[in-house]
């Protein structure tokens, strides 16, 4: 079910940090265009087709102090990938002086699965093993000259049992 939901959201782009109510005057498509032209000058000549733009979730949660995210459904996945690549390269994206984040839109289950890799990711990064979290929720890293990819912690644990150095690094995390 998670794979199906992520497949539906594959072309979606999530914008985090745009203040509430800004879209009433300008419209979300115009806000998106302002972000692209203001933050990514190398992409401003590109015409991006947007199928849909909306705030998510539909109702405002008073217990949540942050603004609701904006979901942009792109016509082409390649456009979303180019924007995300430009955002990673720039690192600090802003909209009218406010720092915002651009990310891929995943299902709640996938986001939770990605979060489960965070502690392991931090430890591996600290040991300079070059970890990466791949889509949708796999971890990869380089060890002994080869790149290893794991989709769950059990497989990583089985592999780490064959590598004493890795087992020592991940002690207590698996």
Are 87 and 119 found together in one domain? no
The last residue of a domain, from among 66, 87, 105 = 105
Q: Which domain holds residue 8?
A: 2-105
**Inside any domain, residue 174:** no
Quote the percentage of the chain above a pLDDT of 90. 41
Whichever domain contains 115, its CATH number is 3.30.250.20
Whichever domain contains 35, its CATH number is 3.30.70.1820
Domain count along the chain: 2
pLDDT above 70 (res 31)? yes
Quote the mean pLDDT of the chain: 87
pLDDT confidence band for 2 (50 / 70 / 90): low
| pLDDT in the model for residue 149 | 95
Q: For residue 86, give both structure tokens.
A: 């430009």
Quote the percentage of the chain above a pLDDT of 70. 93
pLDDT above 70 (res 8)? no
Residue 98, CA atoms < 13 Å, CB-side half-sphere: 17
Q: For residue 24, give both structure tokens.
A: 């009433």
111 neighbors 136 (Cβ within 8 angstroms)? no
- Which range among 58-62, 110-114, 166-170 shows the weakest confidence by mean pLDDT? 58-62
pLDDT above 90 (res 144)? no
Where do runs of H (alpha helix) occur along the chain?
2-8, 22-26, 28-39, 77-90, 108-116, 118-126, 153-160, 164-169
Q: What is the mean pLDDT of residues 12-35?
A: 89
pLDDT, greater one: 2 or 169: 169
- pTM summary value: 0.69
């Amino acid at each position: 079910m998670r794979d199906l939901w992520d497949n539906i959201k594959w072309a979606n782009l999530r914008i985090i940090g745009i203040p509430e109510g800004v879209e009433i005057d300008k419209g979300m498509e115009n806000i998106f265009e302002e972000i692209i032209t203001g933050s990514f000058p190398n992409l401003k000549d590109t015409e991006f087709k947007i199928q849909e733009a909306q705030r998510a979730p539909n109702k405002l949660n008073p217990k949540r102090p942050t603004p609701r995210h904006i979901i942009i459904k792109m016509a082409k996945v390649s456009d979303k990938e180019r924007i995300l690549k430009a955002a990673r390269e720039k690192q600090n994206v802003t909209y009218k002086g406010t720092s915002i984040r651009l990310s891929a839109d995943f299902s709640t289950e996938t986001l939770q699965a990605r979060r489960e890799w965070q502690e392991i990711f931090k430890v591996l990064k600290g040991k300079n093993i070059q970890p990466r979290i791949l889509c949708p929720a796999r971890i990869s890293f380089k060890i002994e000259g080869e790149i290893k990819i794991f989709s769950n912690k059990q497989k990583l644990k089985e592999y780490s049992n064959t590598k004493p150095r890795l087992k020592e690094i991940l002690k207590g995390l698996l």
